[in-house]
Amino acid sequence: MRPTVLCFSGLDPSGGAGLQADIEAIGQSGAHAAIACTALTIQNSQKVFGFEATSKELLLAQANAVVGDLPIRCVKSGMLGTTDNIAALAQFLREHPDYQYVLDPVLVANSGGSLGNQATLVKAFVELIPLATILTPNTVELRALTGENDLEKATEKLFQMGAKAVLVKGGHEDTPDYIRNALYIDGDMVSESRCPRLEGEYHGSGCSLASFIAGRLALGDGLKQAVQHAETWLFGVLKNAETPVPNGQKIPKRF
Ligand code: PLP
């Protein structure tokens, strides 16, 4: 049985982001994906119309059903939806300290739609940060989590909050020709990558990257290697992404 990543993520009916992105990315990484569903969202490639979060009891029951059943090596979280779900995941991770954990601190959808109350989610994430093997914030999320506008100070603050490793994703920065990501471990930058900026907006790019990293960690890669593998893979699937409607975000082609 392939090493398994257990994802705590939401359903996106468009199939671009959320748990479908996780399943496809983890499958492509070579690992197996299991899902504890945190929320059912109502959205398409253009807009989020709403969501209904899973109760924390139902969320934990899903996760606990596969513990001891599948060879879980890593947990990955995306949209969590409520502070109750964040607390439930923290409890689950404390019960399983041997699992690696990739924390993608999702606050809003790329289309701008709400995936939870941002102010309360930010406060609750504080409990998850020290439990993560790696966090994968974009710069909007990094600033929101730390309350610091300056990116160096914000990264430093995340380490003061207990982070062990952070991949800062530069897709939201004003660099028209390229995107720069930087990987920090124990407060020090250990690698950076630049790729050409592709045109358009992409639905589920963050989910895909974090999940591929989780898959590679489950298979035994070190952090630096897992991030490099995931960045190379993501660039290919974004280059081949498909546009469903003229106003829609592009859907990564993960196969
Ligand atoms: N999870 C769910 C269920 C979502 O709907 C979204 C965005 O729409 C995300 C996560 C985050 O997506 P992205 O990878 O585009 O940041």
Q: Read out DSSP for 213-228?
A: HHHHHHTT--HHHHHH
Q: How far apart are CA 149 and CA 185, in angstroms?
A: 21
Helix residue spans in 106-175 (DSSP H): 118-128, 139-146, 151-160
pLDDT value, residue 109:
86
Q: Which residue has the higher pLDDT, 112 or 5?
A: 5
* List of residues 6+ apart from 254 with CB closer than 8 A: 21, 24, 25, 28, 208, 237
What backbone phi and psi angles, to 5 degrees, belong to 178? -145, 165
Longest dimension (CA), the chain: 47
Q: How far apart are CA 166 and CA 183, in angstroms?
A: 6
**What's the CA-to-centroid distance between 135 and ligand 1, angstroms?**
15
**What's the CA-to-centroid distance between 110 and ligand 1, angstroms?**
7
In this prediction, residues 23-34 reach a mean pLDDT of 98
Percentage of the chain beyond pLDDT 90 is: 96
pLDDT value, residue 113:
86
The answer to whether 250 and 201 are in contact (CB under 8 A) is: yes
The answer to whether 87 and 59 are in contact (CB under 8 A) is: no
Write the residue with the smallest CA distance to atom 11 of ligand 1: 109
- Residues 129-174: pLDDT tens digits? 999 999 999 999 999 999 999 999 999 999 999 999 999 999 999 9
In the predicted model, what is the mean pLDDT of the chain?
97
131 residue type, one letter? L
Taking the CA of residue 38 as reference, the ligand 1 atom at the shortest distance is 3
Write the residue with the smallest CA distance to atom 8 of ligand 1: 109
- Residues 210-236: pLDDT tens digits? 999 999 999 999 999 999 999 999 999
**What's the CA-to-centroid distance between 125 and ligand 1, angstroms?**
17
124 Rama sector, left if φ>0, alpha if ψ -120 to 50, beta otherwise:
alpha
Using most ligand atoms within 8 A of CB, pick from 26, 37, 43, 110 the residue to mutate for ligand 1: 110
Write the residue with the smallest CA distance to atom 12 of ligand 1: 204
**What's the CA-to-centroid distance between 46 and ligand 1, angstroms?**
12
Q: Provide the 10 A C-beta neighbour count for residue 68.
A: 8
Could you please state the CATH topology (level 3) that the domain comprising 4-132+202-239 is classified under.
UDP-N-acetylmuramoyl-L-alanine:D-glutamate ligase (3.40.1190)
Token representation of residue 159: 């380490």
Sheet holding 165-169, edge to edge: 48-53, 32-43, 4-11, 72-77, 100-103, 134-135, 165-169, 178-185, 188-196
In this prediction, residues 176-203 reach a mean pLDDT of 96
Taking the CA of residue 11 as reference, the ligand 1 atom at the shortest distance is 3
125 residue type, one letter? F
pLDDT value, residue 111:
81
Confidence grade of residue 37 (pLDDT, cut at 50, 70, 90): very high
* List of residues 6+ apart from 171 with CB closer than 8 A: 138, 179, 197, 205
Give the domain ranges of the chain.
4-132+202-239
- The binding-site residues of ligand 1, defined as CB within 6 angstroms of any ligand atom, are 9-10, 12, 17-18, 41, 43, 78-79, 106, 109-110, 115, 203-207
pLDDT value, residue 110:
81
**What's the CA-to-centroid distance between 106 and ligand 1, angstroms?**
7
Q: How far is Cα of residue 99 from the mean position of the Cα atoms in its chain?
A: 16
Class of residue 16 by CB neighbours under 10 A (exposed 0-12, middle 13-18, buried 19+): buried
